[in-house]
Each structure stands twice: as structure tokens, then as C-alpha cells.
Structure 1
Amino acid sequence: MPTGRRRAEVGPLIFKAVRNGRPYPDHGLATRDWAMIPPRQIRLDTLTTTKRELALDTLLADDSTFYGDLFPHAVQWKGELYLEDGLHRALRAALQQRNVIHVRVLDLDALIPAEQTGSTTGAIPVQRPLPDLQQ
């Protein structure tokens, strides 16, 4: 028997991946704007989180959605679904043995054409400065 450490076998994960931060551009939606997007069913294992940490007291609180939206918010960007808000609700659903939740999904792929997502300033043509008119 080898003396090296063995990795524990891991079954199916709750989320597709865990990130720290948002890889997509700022969409500028306010909370009331999200309410205009109808929720749809999404499998938890297709979501990538944008937060690596959560507060256990928030996860276990009975009134965690009292002041917020009942549905988590996700952003579709370059074919991936990123869970922007609602990590606690999604994890609570997973702890209740549910693998599907209702999520409001903002589809940035449909809103921002692919050619606009390339380089940021490289596509802007160089312009000559304007002459100083105060002389």
C-alpha cells in the first residue's frame, strides 16, 4: 500500500464551478429591474457562483428573503450561467435535496452582440486632438 495521500472521491457537485467575482460586464440592473424578468427553472449544476464565501447565519435564517427578491439572479454570459445573487437560497435548495430552482436570468449574450465583447480599446480608431480654440 503506497504511503502517499489519496484524494477522496467526490460525487456530483452542487454547482458547475465556484468563482470569486463576475467575469461579465456591469449590466446596471437595479433590484426592481430584475423583477421584470420572469423566473425559470435552472439546474443547480449548470450555475457558476460569483461568490466563494457565504455567511452561515444568513443561510440558516428563516427570513433571509424578507427584504429581497424571492428568486436568485443569474447572468448568462458567453454561454455560461453565473449566479450573481441568491447563493444562500440556491445552497438551501441543495440542502433540501433539490437540484432545480427558479432563477431570474439576464441573458447578456442576447443583449450584447459578440463583436462588442472583444478588445476594449483596440477597436477604437485613433483620432487627432482638437485644436485649442482659446488662443
Structure 2
Amino acid sequence: MIFKSVGDERPYPDHGRTTPKDWADVPPRQVHLDELVTTKSTLDLRSLLSEDSTFYGDLFAHVVRWKGTMYLEDGLHRALRAALGQRNVLHARVLDLT
């Protein structure tokens, strides 16, 4: 399995970071794909190509750590590309809410 789990929601509280600029102060680090729980079960091309997507706005995926679990909030396309490239890590900005 690529991810720890495939989810369809954000079980953590709203953190108020909505744009790549909001995430800029969170330093990137490597995260293992098998530690991540997705917050989306499908890859939506409208979402992928939107202006606030990490595809355009940030080089790093966005991960939220909540109660010991790491949720992939934005960057599903990057995580899948890493997995298809036989890489088991992803560079991501990890916001710790615990």
C-alpha cells in the first residue's frame, strides 16, 4: 500500500492556512508516504489546476500532523508521482497541530 490510509475528510480543526503564502513559514522536510493519510480519495483535475493548488503555488506538499497522525492536505498529485517513480518519501511542509 502506498499510503497509511486513504481518507476523504479533514478530521483536524481548521488551521486558517489557505494559500501557499500562508504555508511559507513552515519548513519542508521528508515524509514517508506510508505515514500519510490522505484527505482526498480522488484526484480532481479542477482542484489540481486551481491557482491555490501546490501544482502552481508551492514546491512542497502540505501535511497536517494531528493527534499523532499525518494527513496529506494538499499535494496528492506529488505523492502519487513520487510513488510511481519508486520513491517512498515526499518533501512536504508539516504543520503540527498537536
State which drifts further: 50-59 or 34-43: 50-59
Alignment partners' CA distance in 1, 2:72 and 2:27: 16
Q: Please give the per-residue CA displacement for 1:45-92, whole angstroms capped at 9, x wherever unaligned.
A: 000000000147988xxxx85522110000000000000000011001
Larger radius of gyration between Structure 1 and Structure 2: 1
Give the AA of the match of 1:45: D
The answer on 1:77 being equivalent to 2:63 is no
Q: Against the structure 1 CA distance between its residues 58 and 94, is the aligned structure 2 distance closer, same or farther, given a 3 Å change threshold?
A: farther
Within a 5 Å distance, the mapping from 1:1-135 to structure 2 comes to: 13-31=1-19, 32-55=21-44, 67-109=56-98
Alignment partners' CA distance in 2, 1:30 and 1:56: 19
Query: C-alpha root-mean-square deviation of aligned residues, in Å?
Result: 2.0
- Whichever structure has more strand as a proportion of its residues is 2
**TM-score normalised by L of structure 2:** 0.86
Q: Report how many residues are paired.
A: 93
Aligned partners of 1:76 and 1:107 also within 8 Å: yes
Question: Which aligned runs of 4 or more in structure 1 are off by greater than 3 angstroms?
Answer: 55-59
5+ residue gaps, structure 2, are none
Alignment partners' CA distance in 1, 2:84 and 2:47: 14
